[in-house]
Amino acid sequence: MYYCQKNQSSSDDETDRFTVMVNDKLGFINQKGKLVIKPQFKNLYSYHDGLAGASTDDKWGFINVSGHYVIKPQYEDVQEFIENLAAVKLGDKWGFINKSGKLVIKPTYDFVMSFKDSISCVRVNDKWGYIDMTGRYLVEPQYDDAWDFDGDLARIKMDNKWGYINRQGELVIQPQFDVLQTFNNDIAGVCVDDKWGFIDKEGNYIVEPIYNDIWAFEDSLARVMKDGKWGFINKEGNYVIEPIFDDVWKFEEDLARAKVDDKWGYIDKQGSFVIQPQFDDEWSFTENLASVKVGDKWGYIDKQGQFVIKPQWDDALDFDEGIARVRLNGKWGYINQKGNYISEPQYDDAGSFINGLARVEVDDMTGYINKEGKIIWEPTK
């Protein structure tokens, strides 16, 4: 059985749908906890572009926001509608349908990815290629592995090496890398012989592969590791922060987590500790607070390193929209930024708030609470 809670679309009807299970059947409630589509489905996807994949028995179809099948169950599997087309599986082959249920690209592929910018990556006989929205090959299947186009370029693998092609299928960066990351601000991380560097969109090195590990550039800085120590470089490959840390994370709210001698603190963009290494573990700052661990308990500090919520929990996660999840004695609850409970620790698992509700689990049963901590759907299964 499969269900997906999070709705991706911005439609009011779609975002006001939350999956519930009753007697092993799936349906939807709205944000007020009212059952809007009675539990009747064996499998259920989130809505996207007004339709959700669903199965009552062993075949998949699509339902509208009222819960009625508008494309009858007939497929072995489906993907969500993207750019007005959905991938469907008939027998052991994949094709695409439109929102009327018409088969617009015949099922001839072993696997397909959803369309992105009018191009789908498809697999035939263990080789990958690309098609347009009519099913015409833009690039014949010939690659050992491939990714979606990201802008004008797509990553492809040939003879165990990665390179890039353009939308005409021309090799613009020859397959030569053991690992190749996606481009981020026209820069991509690459690995050759266990050493990492960065290239531009012409395949030229802007930072030679001399590092043991890297992360992508963010805000013009990239984390790099050399000889077991981490620092930050700029796009010219020069150190902005020398590699002196045992571990570092990206900058969040102008501060980055940094570890020295088994203790964590926070540094600024000059590499200076503004909160000295003193914590056994920590998370990044969100909403001006960071969860930190002292001994075996977690609490929250401000950007001056002062505790605003004393350590008292076995685990504590980031704040999101003024609410954080905390765990005590094996149970999860929710607190506000003053450290007061909006929901006492009582759940075996607890999700983040999405569109005003959070999914909670008790004894393998799933329910929902709102931001006041009120249970709007009692846990069921």
pLDDT digits (tens, 9 = 90+) for 24-74: 999 999 999 999 999 999 999 999 999 999 999 999 999 999 999 999 999
Nearest CA to 281 out of 301, 302, 296 is that of 296
* pLDDT score of 10: 43
* pLDDT score of 101: 97
* pLDDT score of 16: 85
- Residue 93 domain-assigned (yes or no): yes
| CATH number of domain containing 101 | 2.40.128
Strand order in the sheet with 103-109: 77-78, 86-90, 93-97, 103-109
Backbone dihedral region for residue 172 (phi beyond 0: left; psi -120 to 50: alpha; all else: beta) = alpha
- Residue 44 domain-assigned (yes or no): yes
* pLDDT score of 7: 44
Counted domains in the chain: 1
What is the pTM (predicted TM-score) of this model?
A: 0.89
Three-state secondary structure readout of the chain: CCECCCCCCCCHHHHCCEEEEECCEEEEECCCCCEEEEEEECEEEEEECCEEEEECCCCEEEECCCCCEEEEEEECEECCCECCEEEEEECCEEEEECCCCCEEEEEEECEECCCECCEEEEEECCEEEEECCCCCEEEEEEECEEEEEECCEEEEEECCEEEEEECCCCEEEEEEECEECCCECCEEEEEECCEEEEECCCCCEEEEEEECEECCCECCEEEEEECCEEEEECCCCCEEEEEEECEEEEEECCEEEEEECCEEEEECCCCCEEEEEEECEECCCECCEEEEEECCEEEEECCCCCEEEEEEECEEEEEECCEEEEEECCEEEEECCCCCEEEEEEECEEEEEECCEEEEEECCEEEEEECCCCEEEEEEC
- Residue 47 domain-assigned (yes or no): yes
Exposure string of 82-108, with b = 16+ CB inside 10 Å and e = fewer, is: beebbbbbeeebbbbbebeeeeebebe
- Residue 97 domain-assigned (yes or no): yes
Residues 6 or more apart whose CB falls under 8 angstroms from that of 136 comprise none
By residue range, what is the domain housing residue 47? Answer: 1-109
* pLDDT score of 6: 47
* pLDDT score of 154: 97
- Residue 95 domain-assigned (yes or no): yes
* pLDDT score of 1: 58
Residues 6 or more apart whose CB falls under 8 angstroms from that of 35 comprise 20, 27, 28, 29
Each residue's pLDDT tens digit, 126-163: 999 999 999 999 999 999 999 999 889 999 999 999 99
- Residue 280 domain-assigned (yes or no): no
Q: Which long-range contacts (CB under 8 A, 24 or more apart) does 162-171 make?
A: 163/203, 164/201, 164/203, 165/139, 167/119, 167/138, 168/138, 169/130, 169/138, 169/139, 169/140
Strand order in the sheet with 263-267: 247-252, 255-260, 263-267, 273-279
Residues of the chain under the 70 pLDDT cut = 1-12
- Residue 15 domain-assigned (yes or no): yes
* pLDDT score of 35: 95
